[in-house]
Structure 1
Amino acid sequence: SCLIWKAFAERGVGKDADENRNGGSNTNNDQTVSFENPCGGTPTPTTCDGDVASFPFTESFESGFGMWKNASKGDDIDFTRNSGGTPSDDTGPAGAADGSNYVYVEASGNGTGFPNKRAILNSPCIDLTALTSPKLNFQYHMYGSSINKLTVEVRLDNSGDWNSIFSKSGSQGNSWKEADIDLKSYAGRSSVQLRFNIRTGIGNDGWQSDIAIDAISISNDDGGSNGGCQDGGVTSYPFNESFESDLGLWKNASSGDDIDFTRNSGGTPSDSTGPTGATDGSTYIYVEASGNGAGFPNKRAILNSPCLNLSDLSSPNLNFKYHMYGSAINTLIVEARINDTGAWTSVFNKSGDQGNSWLTANVDLSSYSGQSSVQLRFNVLTGSGSNGWQSDIAIDAISINNDDNGGGAGDDCPALYFNDFSINSFSNQDNDGNYSVSTSGESLTLINNTWKYISMNYTVTANTVIEFEFSSTAEGEIHGIGFENDNSLSDFRYFKVHGSQNYGITNYDNYVGGTKKYVIPIGSSYSGVMDRLVFINDNDASSGNNSTFTNVKVYEGACGNSSVNIDSFVSRVDVLGNQDEEVFSSLQIAPSLITKGSSLNLIGSSKGLNEIDYEIANLIGQIFDTGKLKGKTINVDLLKPGIYVLSLKNDFSKSNKRFIIK
């Protein structure tokens, strides 16, 4: 008789079951049949096989599924092992996160892979009797316009309901992400089972919802990483992380936020936001804000540090690089707490666009000196509004150390990373426009007659210093550097370090070869709000000259070992060169006395001639001719004898020159 009841149950007829749900023939959709199977009710649920009691228990699916199994019922489709990319465009990973293989759910095939199809992957039985802080760690990939949901669930003793312990919905970007899940509430239990429960997408693009899993690990968390920590794990300093191979001991939060930090090299996918490369090494981490409803508006990402034992540090200090560029940049906060309890306390906060360059944060942690269990976290909120996607925030080069100077007075003056800047032609001086940026991004090289600038909003004060290393293998007329607040020349703002022309501030004109370091207190020469930094490699008369500017730093006062004597700010008297660089200064009329019917000839540099407008008038202002110079000759054969004024002007200046026709 039990077989009969079992047959009823498997046809969908049992307690509170619809007859039609699993193939019944009754055409009345409202009929519900309520029976109970005296032999145990509905079919026995899937059981877990094996007892895993040795840890860490890991699986990367290199040779098979290991002890993990696709569910035999309760779902629609299975997980599949794969290497390389998935068959569908614009969804799924390009390869494994660990080794060569991973498992994923293929969402293609309307009615087969989508819409809303479920796939379940069950773990073996796990004996956590000997573990005090068990945790689950794995890599997941959720990329596609119709990504639905990934849930991790757990149950005990092969019975009862499955409880969700991790859930992500929507596209998480085209990269592998790490999940770190606290299983401490199951510590000491002898029969624990986990399962990955995936739902594919809906709608016409439901096929764009491949979800992948790799590098599963169940272990005892001695240091704590799921947003909490106990017993300081890091005791050796400096403790540095630049994310060159992975996240190291830093972990994305598994709860309390919406999206994750992602490792990246090069630029971010979105225009006009994010860096173009790392500031230390080749890799950094960032929060990708693209995808309305996925990356913005107001999505939170949290990155947790390991436990930090600061017992032996008298002046602990956090130093890191950050990049906050975009029209909708929201907030970056660094928070701290002790002993894995209580509220998080903000120790650093930045909001809004900070410009398209890497900046340095130096955070004093002396209030946590002597504490044995300190945890930090980076808490990022993405932008809002229609441009909320323009709010990628990046972090790199994290260092926790004892600050021997005390109070976080460390190196707060990073070198400019030229890959993060647009290199622009300056004024009318950029005749050849040749330049290159080193692979590291720390050097800018100019070749031939070239003036360049980078946009840099900076308020020069009495204490502002510019520091750089300079080298040249071929001398030109002017090699130098200086700030500007518009696109016209101001010789009193440029510091010349090399060249044959006597131009600009010449106090530092002492380069003789090799690589020379300059530390110039520009605050003793001028101050004010500037918007660009100018690099000069001038040579109007010839070509082949070059200038390389490396490790360019702008800071206030002093920076690390780059000290500047205080008297340098007050006692120096600038020595200005006596040779003008404007094109008009080199142009002369020859001859100044012209025979009627002849042409007016100009001699001097040809630089920028095609940008010069001219006007010829008599001494009472009557205008006889206007135009744009097309060379060094102006036809004046129609002018009557008399005295005339030739006016020359461009976007930057003007000059008047008198001539006579006899």
Structure 2
Amino acid sequence: MKNKYLSLGLLALGMFFTQTSFGQTDAEKQKIVSQYDLQALGTLENKLTTQQAQEKQRAIQLAQQNGWEIRTTLPDGTLVELQRVTADGQPVYYRTFNVDAARSTRTDHLNAGGSLGLNLMGQNMTAYVWDGGVARASHQEYDGAGGTNRFSTGDSGSLNYHSAHVTGTIMASGVVANAKGMAPHASAVGYDWNSDLGEATSAASSGMLVSNHSYGFRGDLVPDYYFGAYITESRDWDEIMFNAPNYLMVVAAGNDGNQNGYNASPLGGNSSYDKLTGHSTSKNNLVVANAQDANIDASGNLISVAINSSSSEGPTDDYRIKPDITGNGTGVYSTYQNSDTAYNSITGTSMASPNVAGSVLLLQQHYNNTNGSFARAATIKGLALHTADDAGASGPDAVFGWGLMNTKRAAEAISNDGNEAKIEQLTLTSGQTYSITVDSDGTNPLLASISWTDRAGTATTATNSSTAVLVNDLDIRVTKGGTTYNPWRLTGVTTNGTGDNTVDPYERVDVSGASGTYTITVTHKGSLVGGSQDFSLIVTGLSGTPVVCNATTPTGVSASGITTSGADIDWNTVTAATYDVRYRQSGTSTWTTNAVATNSTTLTGLAASTSYEVQVRSVCPSGNSLYSSSVTFTTADIPAFCSGSISSFPYSEGFEAGDGWTQVGGDDGDWYRTSGSTPSSGTGPTSAAQGTNYLFLEASTNSSPGQIGNNGTAILESDCFNLAGKSSATFSFQNHMYGTAVGSITVQASTDGTSWANLWSDSGDKGNQWNSISVNLSAYLGQEVKLRIVGTTGNGWSSDIAIDDLSVTAVDASADTTAPVITLNGAATINLTVGDSFTDPGATASDNIDGDLTSSIVVTGSVNTSVTGTYTLNYNVSDAAGNDATQVSRTVNVDPASTGGCSGGVSSFPYSEGFENTLGAWSQSTTDDINWSITSGGTPSSGTGPTAAAEGSYYIFVEASGSGTGYPNKQAILNSPCFDLSGETQATFAFSYSMYGAADMGSISLEASDDDGATWTSLWSETGNKGTGWQTASVNLASYVGGSVQLRFNRITGSTWQADIAIDGVSLSTSGGSGPSCSNVSLSITFDNYPEETSWEITNSGGTVVASGGTYASQADGSTLVIDAGCLDDGCYDFTITDAYGDGICCAYGNGSFTLTNNNTGATLASGGSFTTSDTTNFCVSASGTTATADYMTTFNDTNVRATLDVKIYPNPVKGATLNVTTLQDNASYTIMNMVGQHVAKGNIVSGAINVSKLRAGVYMIQINTGSQTVTKKFIKQ
């Protein structure tokens, strides 16, 4: 039996910390946590503790069932322990990260005797260690100069060598010199890794600053989607750190660098990368890679370093820079657990992580010593990344992160704050911009970075999802004059660059060769969640000499770069000053004044061929200087825009002999000419739209020909087109936009070559086909115009965009005598019934010159569906030359509501329809949103729909793709022919259906109308994901025999494109006799918290399974699912429901229940929820007899039989208005139900007669209650 555990961790650990003497002082702890929302942290601790306890308990019980190891040591010495089970039943293990032996660090520059003279030994500081166990508290290295008994345990974890080694790496005192830790006077608290989330939340609530986690998931056992993904584990740690903003979690990246086969779906197809899982993909922590021994000179400068090949590589699926930083964990000598004097050397990111954790603990100590308070975690993390030594590829990468940690340089930045460095802890509110001006030292690179603790993002279960998990996206830019410097970012798995970083909560701008004054600006995108975002700004490479501002008149004012509308103005710098620049047209009296931060500016918006004068003055806090003498300049004449132009039309370009148009420089690359397919599978076309060649953008980053990479832009520009004397002009082309990460295409036009107007733009996946586009150029008639096509790839390799078949058509103003043509959408005559809804299907219009004129159509006339009559809608349009199209009309007939059923249609049975490339007699509704489609094989969308027909080759389905077009809540109705059942006494409608895709599939219903479509009654409906196979449904039409009925499938899409529902194998069968011979049965299951454990089956008396279902992993915990179990023949059956875990569906883990119902009678056949492994109920159904008591029991006793015999009804069938009832008791009541279980009449039996005149023809059940007995009988109304 599963058990739930309530957490007392906050109370118990809170008592522990209160009673412990080491660590930060109580006052310092209180200062830290006074800024936290302790109630939120307490709630979070309870949630995470309970969640982990449940997951652990469940994992152990499944391990016992399946023979899994719970805790063991692998042959290489790695400790592994079972933690939880994935949704698909796979075990998830924590494992320690260690392999061989060694060590290297520069943190000793901060220690006593170090070059910085700081004497930082971790005094009064506490590190927290979660690991596969705990260290030996009595080890000699945990005493020493820093004090005795500096290690204690936070829980009841057992001794473990790995934990002992990690702990010593942080705080060993150096009794054996080679084993001295990073912070040899610090204290440490050790925890077993079980319940790490809840315990860490409690410790953070009590002022924890730094924790180390040298463990992670076993890469050989996790599902592929875990790699690089932001899963629930990643999110939970981010939530803790966001709620405790001084707490920094340091994590080992892992040791799977040499394992290229664990991830079967690596990012970008590169199996040497994408190996991080679990908390290694969180945003706010510090993930550490492992380097070999670094070559460091005596001053602490890096000479060379190489990565240890076992270190796991990133990045994350949204291309965040992970690992963050590199430590040294090769051959680290440290403490062991087997005696008080035991030591050993081991290697791995497990050793690199405490190397970094101990170092950042010293940085917190130094910051507190310098500023009187501890820093935000984002500040310490930012300092580590800001000052790291670049290693490997230039700039950040997915191997070293930002490089090898340089603790010395980070400490120097803290010491130099306010002089050569600037460290500010700030808050940005929604809509705010933060800006400062700084002076570079002229020697070192100017580095400016921002770091922030972001809110927890949305966890995913998708494989290689590129959706950014960043919640609040801040941006930093550094500018000087007209130059803007952008931050680093990853552009692919193995590539980087500078630009707009939209994924990382840390951004750094590097300005090499910096000199002079720069402006640093921090902004944000969109609206900040929560209304504000704390961030830390770090700047190094600044001038440390105090600057005095003397407002002297600027000299050397000059104008250069003069264009038709602007000029660059420069002058000599006045130290520490800002400036006012004023200018005016020569000979006028009004000045325009601009405030300028640097010694140059660009004037814009000037008139061509005009003389201007300009003056500059300096501005200091103490006052302003006089303006300089005027400098005059004259703007340039407007040059001839086109040296030559195209004036012969039609014009065409198919790229058969070259690029045709001009590749514009200054962008990210060129459009590439090719034939056949692009180099990447699953994106781009397979051939040209016309001819042989076409142009495309290659989005890959694997050295494919012509590639421009992810988020790259390429511009293609035309010659001039002379549209003088033209009455109309159109630019047409074909594009191909197919792939999972497609970017955008934009068509622009310019009449001066400087300013460009957007004429047309589109983005996203448009399917694997060429798309024809026409752009109206009427705005440029009488002018010379250039066109250009701007293509931008998406955030992934599957975003190849192609263009082909370019053309420009133009018509002389005197030549356009052809009228446009109007074409109706849909039928010219539409028949409606009073009360129907009506939406005009509209029409389209096209013109040989003006192209698409649909938006210009004028519609006259109206339709009132509440009044019978014939209505006419008229459609008219004219082209630019004034040519009128021939009017087109639509007739709408509104007929009176029918008082009877439908007519005509199908009267011969059995009837069947397999939709073999035709809808047969079925028809699409004109009042819905989208249509049903016919197809064979699979549907166009992956991960949804069937892969083949249920019978034959074809089937019908509704394509849910297209946000706003296919989903959400779009309706598709398919109407059946009229079925004439007037001569029948029994009818059954059956069909096959497929509902495979996302959890929110929307719904599918079968509805019936016996009043010619005036009203519709739902007979059957389903929602949810039913799995990959075809399902069958059978619906009893007994209520409609004796008349006519029309059926329809009513499909309403859900909230996702992954929801294609299909229908096939439709049939309607009838048979003579006294009524239906089967009973429609449905099963309603309300699941507990483990739907993946529930299954069921119905077996007949011969032991054959006639219906079954489960398990239901795609169902939400606690959800309810109604399942059509089919139409059961008369007889007795066993219903068995099974729970794979053996604790039923109620009530240990949710209040689950089930009910099996005879839909013909409304009778409950089986119900319950509380059982162990399975529960079996025997039941019987009888649709053809005169009693329904068989629905409730297996055998009859004498009293039941007597009661049945004592109740009689006649005549049966009843042709008139009265049904006679005889009973042995007075005061009997009755309820009449139709064959779908609806109550249609009830009352008391008066004088042995019931008026049934208002009942439609059909089969009914009458339930007669005599007071002591309830008897159910069947009768037919003719």
TM-score between the two structures when normalised by the length of structure 2: 0.23
Which structure would you say has the larger Rg? Answer: 2
TM-score between the two structures when normalised by the length of structure 1: 0.40
Structure with larger RCO (C-alpha < 8 A, sep 6+) = 1
